[in-house]
Chain A
């Protein structure tokens, strides 16, 4: 059995990639992908802990998270499409009206 530390390590790496992606990239779609990456890294650690503690409840929970995340990504993509229709761009540097 793969030790727990590996799972946590992978999860951390994925999460960090996601965070860096969200913070540094300029393309809204890629940022959105990074967010999904962060979400899945958390799912991964959740499943790992669930398997190691012998409690299947965590794995059931992850199914729910995935289902909800699917819905969420539909909403997110819809927002990005709406943004593109208005601004003809998905570059977030040009979407900075949320300020003084």
Chain B
């Protein structure tokens, strides 16, 4: 836990010196080693936890009292239980490999030390977020990761980046930060409501008292849950606050992999899973979560279909997969949501890192239309990317299949409509990811083969790819559903943590084995269909893709322009805001009212000064006379007052 912050201090304070004197490798090694240490600690804690009986797996470590006033005590205390250990392993593990990858990826950059300092700071904040035992400390981590996200998106601050209302990468970082602020605001209000109702931010206190304080469906608890969810939509890029994530791709690719795919964006899911008890008491809020999740999943997937920037496709894919997770927690399958969170962290980080390797090899080329045929040039990347693509599409027995399928079966049990949306999304996912895959690796090269010496990345980048590749394959095996002969170990492990929440939920999940088989077969068929369609349209008969494009007509344009959402936001939110700020707030309020007040005070003082300065004649005798008069008055007062 403390080790990343040591990395921050070393790299942040002395990084520039170390890079100059000892070389950038040392910086990277320090950065990675500190995270590696955390990872090892996490594994030790985890194995320790496995040795304990179910009901003793929850530990709270008080570090010190952070705030202590009157009725409010907020401690820096860390809660280690089944939920946070899963997050801990995912965060430290994935970040460790991404750190190693970054040593290779960032080689030659003049800001390597800055990069690793930010990255370590991010991990520190993220660990705070997942380990906090109260909402306030969680919020600290929540804001911390937002800050690091901002810093890292705009890492190459002098680089141009195109977007609606965006010209520099710094603008993209700003956009991410501001959009996140909107969500954070709701989260804050939710926290205030929690405090107003419970007088505490502590998870134990709040969740312990929740059941007796509220009855199911109370307005107060619904509001809290909805506000928290709005906070989550900001951080986890759900409708309507998802708009920052595609532009966040302006940052270096390892950042996209770590922050904008594997860890930070899943914070919202974690937060809702953590607050499961509150959500269990607010069925309306859960319905909203489920619907927003499902709609986001299909909506983002549809935009991913036509993007030509390799990272943008992956960004929309991330939004879509996060939608799945929210769908899962929204229907009450908290375990399934976290399961998908974990598998997604593996394969999406792998996809991003693979994309990073490709972008690196092609000298910062991100356009899919200028790739192709990389299979022979980059065999290592090709193989790992294929694994990740199959995993995300949901082909058994890879990780994505189990987690996605669990979510879909819960969704089906909750409402067939949600299942249909989820299944269509699965089809779209398979299609867009294989469109990406085929346009990148298959066919003839569409770049300058003779001038670019394209080859696989060096070992520091390739090893993490393989590790994540293996995890993308086996990561799902810990949660094989019982109908397939598995033990559902993952869900069983998490069960005690969600016991209280599940007890309060009215719905009971029950799908018999035959339904479950059927659901699986349908989703696998849909995935294969999606893959085949992508193969047919982009590999076998390229003219088919053009035909496909024509048949949907204007819709293609709409998708390509992301439903014009950015433009709409620009028109209805940003411009009026800028206009009002400039016309009324700056020229009206600031220049007339505020400046007027300040200048007015100055003028009044000057006015009186002009009158009063006549008192100062410069004749010392006048002053002495005033002394004497004063003394006489005082003496007279002393004598006659008594």
Provide the residues of chain B in CB contact with A31, threshold 8 Å. 621
Kindly state the separation between the CA atoms of A75 and B619 in the bound complex, as whole angstroms.
21
Is B628 a contact of A92 with CB atoms below 8 Å? no
What 1/0 mask marks residues of chain B from 519 to 549 whose CB sits below 8 Å from any chain A CB? 0000000000000000000000000000000
Interface residue ranges of B592-636 to A (CB < 8 Å): 613, 616-621, 624-625, 628
Kindly state the separation between the CA atoms of A31 and B617 in the bound complex, as whole angstroms.
18
Interface residue ranges of A36-72 to B (CB < 8 Å): none
With both chains docked as a complex, state the minimum distance between the C-beta of A36 and any C-beta of chain B, in angstroms. 15
Number of chain B residues whose Cβ lies closer than 8 Å to a Cβ of chain A: 10
Is A96 a contact of B624 with CB atoms below 8 Å? no
With both chains docked as a complex, state the minimum distance between the C-beta of B356 and any C-beta of chain A, in angstroms. 72
Is A19 a contact of B628 with CB atoms below 8 Å? yes
CB of A22 within 8 Å of the partner chain: yes
Is B628 a contact of A23 with CB atoms below 8 Å? yes
Is B621 a contact of A99 with CB atoms below 8 Å? no
Kindly state the separation between the CA atoms of A22 and B627 in the bound complex, as whole angstroms.
12
Q: Which of B613, B617, B628 contacts A96 (CB 8 A)?
A: B617
- Find the A residue at minimum CB distance from B613: A100
What 1/0 mask marks residues of chain B from 31 to 71 whose CB sits below 8 Å from any chain A CB? 00000000000000000000000000000000000000000
Count how many pairs of residues, one from A and one from B, have CB atoms less than 8 Å apart in the complex. 25
Kindly state the separation between the CA atoms of A24 and B622 in the bound complex, as whole angstroms.
9
Interface residue ranges of A3-24 to B (CB < 8 Å): 19, 22-24
- Find the B residue at minimum CB distance from A96: B618
Provide the residues of chain A in CB contact with B617, threshold 8 Å. 96, 99
Kindly state the separation between the CA atoms of A46 and B616 in the bound complex, as whole angstroms.
35
Provide the residues of chain B in CB contact with A98, threshold 8 Å. 616, 618, 620
With both chains docked as a complex, state the minimum distance between the C-beta of B290 and any C-beta of chain A, in angstroms. 77
Is A96 a contact of B625 with CB atoms below 8 Å? no
- Find the A residue at minimum CB distance from B628: A19
What 1/0 mask marks residues of chain A from 73 to 100 whose CB sits below 8 Å from any chain B CB? 0000000000000000000110011111
Provide the residues of chain A in CB contact with B624, threshold 8 Å. 22-23
Contact of A92 with B616 at beta-carbon distance under 8 Å, contacts A19-B628, A23-B628 already known: no
Provide the residues of chain A in CB contact with B620, threshold 8 Å. 92, 98
- Find the A residue at minimum CB distance from B621: A23
Is B618 a contact of A97 with CB atoms below 8 Å? yes
With both chains docked as a complex, state the minimum distance between the C-beta of A87 and any C-beta of chain B, in angstroms. 14
A residues lining the B interface (CB < 8 Å) = 19, 22-24, 31, 92-93, 96-100
24 contacts between A and B (CB under 8 A): A19-B628, A22-B621, A22-B624, A23-B621, A23-B624, A23-B625, A23-B628, A24-B621, A31-B621, A92-B619, A92-B620, A92-B621, A96-B617, A96-B618, A96-B619, A97-B618, A98-B616, A98-B618, A98-B620, A99-B616, A99-B617, A99-B618, A100-B613, A100-B616
